[in-house]
Amino acid sequence: MMTSGTVLAQQPLEISIQTDKPGAEIQPTMWGVFFEDINFAADGGIYAELVKNRSFEFELPLSGWSQTAKQNGTGRIVPGFYSPSNSGNPHLVSVYIDPAAGSFGLTNEYFLLAGDMGAEPLPILNCGMSCQFNAAEVVPLEELDTYIQDALDLIEFANGDPSTRWGGLRSEMGHPAKFNMKYLGIGNEQWDEQYIERYWVFKKVLKEKHPEIKIVSGSGPSSAGRMFEYGWSELRKLSPDLIDEHYYMPPEWFLENAARYDNYDRNGIKVFAGEYAAPGKEGTAAESRNTWWSALCEAAFMTGQNGIYASSSVDRKNGKLYIKPVNSSEKQVPVRLALGKLPYTKSA
């Protein structure tokens, strides 16, 4: 953090020692690096109500320090108090750093990661809908312009010439060369009429302005059932380039569905297997949900995916491997890379 463009220089400090007023004896075995952030003293007894930070959360961070900016770099460190991952330490810090020639390690990181791995970037954008499992809020159709403009701006950022507004920002952030993004996802695990009608608005504009971009739609959060079938039936009419399928199922499901894609129409809409995992049922801890048995069942499922590549009916030019990082901490499953292989297509 100290090399991220903003460093803090300590202010001058005066120490006055009163040898005629000794305090409590400090044991030689007691030592630490942040007593001042925890209490007002160490040995000698503490009045509990004077303890400012019983949980190591200092309420006035950076007090006693002045800010020094390197090469006119600026940024913000903002404490957060929402969605704690651990109730014992409910605060978090968000770091916002303004562009400075891409030297912070926080700029372009998604596109750079994809490039380093030889993968195609596939950003998934908000389609004007919140999580339907939670708030289920939607933006009115007549107010989608801001969200659509975000998609257009992202395309310009990734693929635009440095002379453009967003292509220029990419260049300023240290990457004048284009990222040549080819895919863009609209919505994540959305379903039913609200998603379909918003997806259609996005697709109409994006295909008109950027026909070179392949659009990925979603089939909802389930691997089967009413929402899944409805999504496929409606999206088939809209002809997306790919449909994103997700399945978080018990390990046994993966064994039973190793041949899931055998009957998908090779001439239909292609499938992006964007997220899947086989969490066990032994408990909520990650150690009990991500087991050898889960891995074995996922591997069995992948044999069905690999088998498709031996079929003479497959266009091998589309046989690529796509990845996207999946943060599944809310599901208490370790973060992993979700692997999806093309070209799987669903039968009519």
Residues annotated as part of the active site? 189
Angle at 136 between CA 135 and CA 139, to 5 degrees: 115
Cα–Cα dist 133/273, whole Å: 21
* Nearest of 155, 302, 129 to residue 218 by alpha carbon: 129
7 SS3 class: strand
Give per-residue burial for 319-329: e unless 16+ CB within 10 Å, then b. Answer: eeebbbebebe
* Residues ≥6 apart with Cβ < 8 Å to 134: none
| Contact call for residues 300 and 258 (beta carbons, < 8 A) | yes
Angle at 217 between CA 309 and CA 208, to 5 degrees: 110
Strand partners, 94: 78
What is the amino acid identity at position 328? Answer: S
Peptide linkage before 61 cis (omega within 30 of 0): no
Q: And the tokens for 94?
A: 């968000």
